[in-house]
Structure 1
Amino acid sequence: MENLKYIVEDKTIAQLLGVQNFNNKESAVLELVKNAYDANAKNLIISITKKEIIFKDDGIGMNEETIRKSWMHVGKSDKDYSIGTDENIRVLAGSKGIGRFALARLGENVSLHSKKKDCKPILWKTDWNKSILDFEENTNTSLDIGTIIEITNLRDNWTKKAIKDLVDYLSIMYNDNKMCITIESEKNKYSILQYFRKPQIGINYTSNIYLNYDSANMKLNCLIKSDEFKEDAKKYCPDINLSFNEQSVNINDELVGFKDIDYKDKALEDFLKDLGDFSAELYFSLKSSTEKDREAFLYKYKSLPDRYEKGVVLYRNSFSISSYEGTKDWLGFGKRSRKSPAAATHPTGAWRVRENQISGKVLIDKRENYMLQDLSNRQGINENDYYKLFLKIISIGINIFERYRQNIIRNINKKNKIDNADNVSKENNNMVEKIIKKPDILKNLSEKDTNLFINEIENIKKESDRNKQDKEDTENKYRYDVRILNVLATSGLKATSIAHELKNNRNNISVNYEYIVDALKTHNVWDILNSPECTEYIDENVPYLLESNYKVNKKILVFINTILDEVEKQNFEPVEQNIYNIFCEIKRKWCRDYAILNIDLDIDENMHFYTSIDILSVIFDNLILNSFQQNEERNKLTIKISVYKENNILKISYSDDGKGLQNKYKNDPNRILEVHETTRKNGHGLGMWIVNNTVLMTGGIINNIEGNNGFKINFEIGDRL
């Protein structure tokens, strides 16, 4: 037997791993910057002219052995995890042994001069057809310890703008201060300074979100510092700290029902621990605020003097990963905001951070987060299950900030509704009415009346602007709600159509099982079919198959009854209703269809209230369905509903004796009211959102939710329909 090795032409390697391997010239330069950093250089100077690029560093340099055994060995790297000690430690950026081919991306000819301590200086030259190794003593070039790389016959035109773009690119990509990088052109000299080097609140951003993931305990710690709102905002948010918020969440609890990972034989807990620790520092700010918005929402800043606008950058130790340097929305802010486009003022919709409102950095480590693997071309990350989990954990942290900020905005926005109502009542346009009736009096208006007339015109304009804004807010709110409800309505219409078709077969569905069993007994085959030899295999076990079919038919009957009961026209007509009778009917239908349910009512039999049946049905069908789905493995579930009337409000207490809320909601139970919030694998997360929406629509409010010992919710229903 003979061992064979691949032989690849130098030109082909240079083409594949160099020219075609890098997205752009900037990423090729970055690869050579990483090489200097890994060589422990304290200084790197990059000189760029129209004819050549020169990299000069004062690193450890290379000798003949390094060139022969490492530099010329494709795919081999002699780099460990780090070099240096204590404060001077550097985590090495390279590891794949192909970064040197960035030279081929930049130019056709390369001369590399290098000297290692106590070694002869060497010269390596290539035109990518052949490579030559020589010693500097045979040339006229003198060199201290370090490396000089000269690249000629450049593949790109390095204009003044291209050089400035490179400076901006490296300031984002380089996140360290252990090596000073200078770029020199024919007329200019630039020092590379990290983009996020000295973040300042009120200068670069208005809110800072610091995330730290502890993989051993599977916890995400979130610390928010904010300076977005004026001091006056405190009186509208007495229970909220407007400048500081700290939360810690158990990610294992948070991700109950997370479907994006192919778990196979691995538990979620194993994924969470193997992912490793990481952190993020994100900076939120609005691009600008109008005078009107600053007055309405008490924003502190009209604009920021040096606002961060580069997006979120992913750093592996000292360098960003190409394609994750802020230009790509790799965290999916756009997708999140399209899925949930509600404004922060929306009473029930979930506001999401927009892509142009956030910047910052996410920090991972080469060893700690080894499951987040670079692609072979080092231009991205392998988007495996660990990467999906990584993104999800970050989105959980961002969601903490979104809920915190939306809670503040909603509270402040309450004053706007009150102010608008007060202003409308105060603005009596007497002069305008007089002039409309008698236009001629305009000619003889006194100075006082003229001023009154001007003020009234200004008030009319303000009121028109407010009405326009209210109209836009209402349109946005209902555009968001209708998108969700249209999906449900369409599904409901399809289901109703099917239910009507099945209605005529309802009797057959319910009794066919008994008829078939009786027929088999009449023909003396039932006992035979129940014998061991006939029931050995499930697919031949006729009694088992019939019983399974009977259970399915019972569910079909529940479906038919439920659909046909809910769509009758009179259910939507608001009239004075007997509340006790409505709840008795709700109880009858649920207990008829689900044997595990026991519903206790505490309601005055003579209580009347102006409402429509659909309002109560929507609220309590969703509440009862949630209770059932969370506890369907139980043999018995007791639900208690207490209703009493106070003025024009129904005060309601609903509870069950089930297992209560999932752990992720126990510290913040109001989260269950958010749209798409669910822990069920196939859940849509709309049930409690619909409950909240319906309650608010009537002029009511949800007062309290508890989930430690069973589930309990207290709320009010108004008569506004």
Structure 2
Amino acid sequence: MRHNERDIQFNVDAYTAKLIGRENVSKLEGAVLEIVKNAYDADAKIFCMYYSQEQQCIYVLDNGSGMKESVLRGHWMTIGNSSKKKVFKTAGNRIQTGAKGIGRFALDRISDRCEMLTVSEDGGLEWIVNWEDFDELKKLSDVKAKLYDTDESLLSYAQISDWKNRAVASVIRELDWGDTGTVFRLYGLHDEWGGKTIDKLKNHLENLLPPDVVNDFDIYFFDDETEIQKAKIISANLDSFDYKIEFQVCNDELKIGITRNEFDFGDEEERILKEAEIPEEEWKYFHGVVKTLSFFFPEIGEKENVIGNYRGILYFNKITATSQDTAKFYYKDIKGRRNLTKEFGGIKLYRDHFRVRPYGEYGDNDFDWLELAARLRRSPAGLGHKTGNWRVAPEQMIGIVDISRENTNLDDAANRNGIQEGKGFDQLKRILLSVITEFERDRQYIGRKLAAYKKKQDELQNQLDRMREKAEERRKWEEEREKQQDGEMSAAPVVNPEEVEELVDSLTARQEEEVKELRDEAKMLQTLATTGIVTNMFMHEIRTLTNNIGQELDAAYEAIKYDRDLDAAFQNVRQAIGFKKHFASWFNVTIESIRKDKRKRRLYNISEMLEEFLENWRAILNRNGVKLTAFCEKDIIFKCFAFDIENIISNLISNSLASFDRESESVLGKKEIHLRIEKWEKGFILYYEDTGWGLSDKYKKRPDIIMEAFESDKSGSEREEDEDGTGMGMWIVKRTVVEYNGDIDLSENKILDNGFKIVIRLGGM
């Protein structure tokens, strides 16, 4: 039975409060950042931090708005209570950066004792605290700070007349300090403030503010030995780049501006660009004109903007370039270029003009927070590769992304080290990768054109060289004949030409054999990849068949052993055999595709070659409610690898099945696939279409993108095993078509509401 009711209050140990602060401000750089942020949030235009080695003291000054006693008591002295939580715009219209009410513990991170003068429009207050008091066994409410009224000025309290660095002190004294601000004197320093610490913090402050963004907030940081011209922190700036990529997210639209600064075609630019078949509308972009692109969110695979508006600017810089690549791609000379990544870092994140660490921090684990290295490993193709996707390396990208406290779903992590993981941060990364991908496409488009042009030039040069050799041989033969006619005998040849020819033939044959082996190996990998895609597509059905066979055999075993019922057992076995037969079609479109005889390139009658293959697919599709209509002209004779043609069809059918399997499939009506193959003067044309959902908005404007490696339009699929798709099927199709000197037309998909259409022309290899 209850009696004697009374209330008891919660309390916090003082040391626990101190630990909370240290957990959130664990590094010296972070502590300095918090102090600078507080000055910025107070509308300061000047921030000054001076380390006096002689006095072993840190002086911190700003000319912000200062704190009234009500703010100092209610917010500064109340842990976790910040005046910036609800009202986060200052009188000077700055968006304040802090909101957790624990940034003041940055002072504890730096020193044991803190003396502060803060001057507001109501007058001056001196506040003194000894952080060591938090280490004793006291309740938080028992820890006291001293507070005094004072009329002392900011510069007097900073003891500027006693500074050893008289040169910088005179500069600081002449600045417009105004009538309000805050000064800290920090004693009992926890770190060794020497040359390395000063240099590290200076570099940290140089990267604290993004370049060319904040023009009304000057930072001074110096010690006893700092020269005048080095006392003021100048934000890192970038004046050398190969590509500049500006972007802006506004509501549900992504706008991108791409500036090329990498290529130099010299006086023969017009001839080179024409012969390289670069369209004239692209020429202006080699001369500083910004190439603008615009996408609504569904066009880049995003349903909606969950963050809000933000912007950024990225730079691409090659670290090295071979002389061969410089000549092939007409690069500008980058000799002597510094490794800008070490100096500027990677892609950095700024919130309301202040750096959010550790993103883009060179040498830190989160330097490559967009995982560009992993993208590069998945697709290591060179710039001029015909089908592979060139990917930028993390060390080649520099830039800033400017977010705001007004952005939603991008809250600071609890330990003030980065952004909280979640849907906002995930979308931010996806949007940035979309921006980078558009830059990569632009650069690779130019790279492929120039690589093909160089190959054409080399072939022409080889022909000219052979013609010169023939002309030289003819000239020597004429001279030799004239000598013989004059009665002179020529000397015996040093080398037997037949032996040379035999040696050359041997080397050529060996090289051709090595190339053939590599090509065959690549084709085998493509076939195995297609087999994996098809198998993965029907994994659920395969598992069901396997389970059904097992259940029927178990039932037959029990009928014989326990019931002595042979008729029932026989029926179970027959049912198991029926399920087993379904596997035959699977083996024929998967395992059978790598049969040895299909790995031989020879002349095929395409209709005969595909007859059994299509029947096997038809059996599989029928069980899944899909109708396959196929027609092939009878007299198409084509030299190829059988599995190449099968791979194309299997990947197309797999994509159709994924489309049919999307939710609300009843809206589509019938599930049908239509395939037609007709003769072409160079080979044959394959017309393929289905009645599925068609391409998503992400690919409507530019359907060719689906043929890039790792691009997948299967995100709407409910199949657990294929939720995201592999993104390799259409890349395999494109790679195969290129090998057969063919082309792919996806243009009709731009205007289709539903369904998918593709036209593939295949010539000879």
Confirm or deny a common fold (TM above 0.5): yes
Q: Counterparts in 2 of 1:409-488, with a 5 A limit?
A: 409-428=447-466, 485=526, 488=529
Q: How much does 1:646 deviate?
A: 1.6
Contact 1:644–1:652 (CA under 8 A) maintained in structure 2: no
- 2:763 aligned residue: 718
Conservation of the 8 A alpha-carbon contact between 2:250 and 2:308:
yes
Equivalent residue for 2:292, pick from 223, 233, 246 = 246
Equivalent residue of 1:374, what SS? coil
Are the structure 2 counterparts of residues 552 and 375 from structure 1 closer, same or farther at C-alpha, using a change threshold of 3 Å? farther
Q: Secondary structure at the residue paired with 1:69?
A: helix
Note the C-alpha offset of 1:664: 1.4
Q: Deviations over 1:674-694 (max 9, x none)?
A: 111112142211111111111
Q: Which moved more, 1:688-697 or 1:95-104?
A: 688-697
1:668 aligns with 2:719: no
Retained in 2: the 8 A contact 1:283–1:308?
no
1:526 is aligned to none
Preserved CA contact (<8 Å) 1:576 1:610: yes
State the match for 1:527 in structure 2.
none
**Among candidates 634, 638, 641, match of residue 612 of structure 1:** 641
Does 2:395 align with 1:395? Answer: no
The answer to whether the Cα contact below 8 Å between 1:700 and 1:717 also exists between their aligned partners in 2 is yes
Give the distance between the partners of 1:658 and 1:422, measured in 2 at CA.
47
Deviations 1:174-231 (A, max 9, x none): 23222211112112142122324xx5xxx3222121222234xx33222212222224
- 1:569 deviates by 2.0
Q: Tell me, what secondary structure is at the counterpart of 1:594? A: helix
Question: 2:145 is matched with which residue: 120, 132, 154?
Answer: 132
Moved over 6 A (4+): 138-141, 477-484, 492-495, 508-513, 548-554
Change (3 A) 1:564 1:97: closer
Q: Could you tell me how far 1:485 is from its partner in structure 2?
A: 4.5
Is the contact made by 1:28 and 1:103 (CA closer than 8 Å) also made in structure 2?
A: yes
**Letter aligned with residue 98 of structure 1:** I
Rounded Cα–Cα distance in structure 2 between residues aligned with 1:569 and 1:29: 68
Q: 1:2 to 1:487 in 2, by over 3 A?
A: farther
Q: Which residue of 2 aligns with 1:706?
A: 748
Identity %: 27
Instruction: Identify which of 398, 418, 435 aligns with 1:380.
Output: 418
Aligned residue for 1:445? none
Alignment check: 8 A CA contact 2:247 2:435 kept = yes
Does the 8 A contact of 2:530 with 2:729 survive in 1?
no
- CA shift at 1:343, angstroms? 1.8
Q: Is the 8 A contact 2:316 2:397 kept in 1?
A: yes
Map of 1:93 onto structure 2: 97
Residue in 2 that maps onto 1:439: none
- Looking at structure 1, the residues matched to 220 and 527 of structure 2 have their Cα atoms a distance apart, in angstroms, of 58
What is the aligned partner in structure 2 of residue 214 from structure 1?
A: 250
Check whether the contact 1:28–1:105 (CA below 8 A) recurs between aligned residues.
yes
Mapped contact 1:282–1:312 kept (Cα < 8 A): yes
Q: SS at 2:730's partner residue?
A: helix
SS of residue paired to 2:29:
helix
Of residues 317, 323, 342 in structure 2, which corresponds to 1:285?
Answer: 317
Q: Is the contact made by 1:81 and 1:91 (CA closer than 8 Å) also made in structure 2?
A: no
| Post-superposition offset of 1:131 | 4.6
For structure 2, the residue ranges without an aligned partner over 5 or more in a row are 1-5, 134-142, 158-178, 474-507, 564-571, 716-721
1:295 and 1:677 map into 2 onto residues whose CA distance is 32
Q: Report whether the alignment pairs 1:569 with 2:607.
A: no
Contact 2:588 2:613 in 1 (8 A): no
Hey, what's the Cα distance between the residues in 2 that align with 1:397 and 1:690? 25
Deviation readout 1:264-295 (Å, 9 max, x if unpaired): xxxxx4xx343222222111121243332221
Query: Paired residue for 1:45?
Result: 48
Amino acid in the other structure paired with 2:649: F
Shift of 1:706: 3.1
Where 2:590 maps in the other structure, the secondary structure is helix
Q: Summarize the Cα distance change of 1:304–1:493 in structure 2 as closer, same or farther, 3 Å threshold.
A: same
Change (3 A) 1:382 1:657: closer
> Retained in 2: the 8 A contact 1:113–1:149?
yes
CA distance in 1 between partners of 2:49 and 2:469 (Å)? 75
| Residue 599 of structure 1: how far off its partner (Å) | 2.2
Query: Comparing 584-593 with 370-379, which one deviates more in the overlay?
Result: 584-593
> Do the aligned partners of residues 690 and 31 (structure 1) sit closer, same or farther apart at CA in structure 2, a change above 3 Å counting?
same
Query: Which SS does the other structure have where 1:323 is aligned?
Result: coil
Please state whether the residue corresponding to 2:24 is helix, strand or coil.
coil
Partners of 1:23 and 1:30 lie apart in 2 by 12
Shift of 1:582: 2.1
- The residue aligned with 1:639 is 674
| 2-structure distance, mates of 1:549, 1:27 | 68
2:33 to 30, 38, 43: 30
Q: Is the 8 A contact 1:351 1:406 kept in 2?
A: yes
Number of the residue aligned with 1:159: 194
Q: CA separation in 1, counterparts of 2:78 and 2:521?
A: 59
| Residue among 171, 190, 197 paired with 2:231 | 190
Correspondence 1:333-412 to 2 at 5 A: 333-367=372-406, 369-412=407-450
Partner in structure 2 of residue 227 of structure 1: 261
Relative to 1, partners in 2 of residues 1:6 and 1:252: Cα closer, same or farther, differing over 3 Å? Answer: farther
Maintained 8 Å contact 2:585/2:616: no
Aligned partners of 2:351 and 2:405 also within 8 Å: yes
Aligned length: 625
Shift of 1:567: 3.4
Pairwise CA distance, 1:494: 10
Query: Residue 21 of structure 2 is aligned with which of 17, 20, 35?
Result: 17
Closer/same/farther in 2, CA of residues 145 and 613 from structure 1, 3 Å limit: closer
1:314 matched to 2:340? The reply is no
Deviation digits for residues 3-42 of structure 1 (CA, Å, limit 9, x no counterpart): 4132322x55334413x43342112111100111111111
Gaps (5+ residues) in structure 1? Answer: 257-268, 435-466, 524-544
Aligned-partner SS, 1:121: strand
CA distance, structure 2, for counterparts of residue 489 and residue 664 of structure 1: 24
* Structure 1 residues 147 and 277, CA gap change in structure 2 (3 angstroms): same
Residues 126 and 492 (structure 1), Cα distance of their counterparts in 2 relative to 1, 3 Å cut: closer
CA contact (8 A) 1:55 1:148 kept: yes
The answer to whether the aligner puts 1:598 opposite 2:628 as a matched pair is yes
- Give the match for residue 695 of structure 1: 737
Comparing 295-304 and 316-325, the one that deviates more: 295-304
Taking the aligned partners of 2:94 and 2:581, their CA distance within structure 1 comes to: 67
Instruction: Give the TM-score, by structure 2 length.
Output: 0.73
8 Å Cα contact 2:527/2:593 also seen in 1: no
Distance in 2, Cα, partners of 1:493 & 1:705: 26
Alpha carbons of structure 1 residues 550 and 112: separation in structure 2 relative to 1, 3 Å: farther
Kindly provide the CA deviation profile for residues 367-409 of structure 1, in whole angstroms up to 9, marking residues without a partner as x. Answer: 2x23111122211111123211221122122112112211111
Verify the 8 A CA contact 1:249 1:664 in the aligned structure 2.
no
Change (3 A) 1:716 1:491: closer
Q: Following the alignment from structure 1 to structure 2, what is the Cα–Cα distance between the partners of residues 412 and 183?
A: 49
Specify whether residues 140 and 714 from structure 1 end up closer, same or farther in structure 2 by C-alpha distance, changes over 3 A only: closer
| Distance change >3 Å, CA 556–CA 389, structure 1 → 2 | farther
| 1:73-92 matched pairs, under 5 angstroms | 73-79=78-84, 80-84=86-90, 88-92=92-96
- Structural RMSD (CA): 4.2
| TM-score for the superposition, normalised by structure 1 | 0.77
Using the alignment, how far apart are the partners of 1:35 and 1:161 within structure 2?
25
Structure 1 partner of 2:7:
2
The residue identity in structure 1 corresponding to 2:72 is I
1:657–1:711 contact (8 Å) kept in structure 2: yes
Structure 2: distance between partners of 1:137 and 1:593: 89
Q: Aligned AA for 2:704?
A: N
In structure 2, the CA distance between the partners of 1:655 and 1:46, relative to structure 1 (3 Å rule), is: same
Q: Distance in 1 between matches of 2:330 and 2:348?
A: 30
SS at 2:357 equivalent: strand
Q: CA shift at 1:324, angstroms?
A: 2.0
Contact 1:294–1:302 (CA under 8 A) maintained in structure 2: no
Shift of 1:354: 0.8
**C-alpha distance in 2, partners of 1:480/1:90?**
61
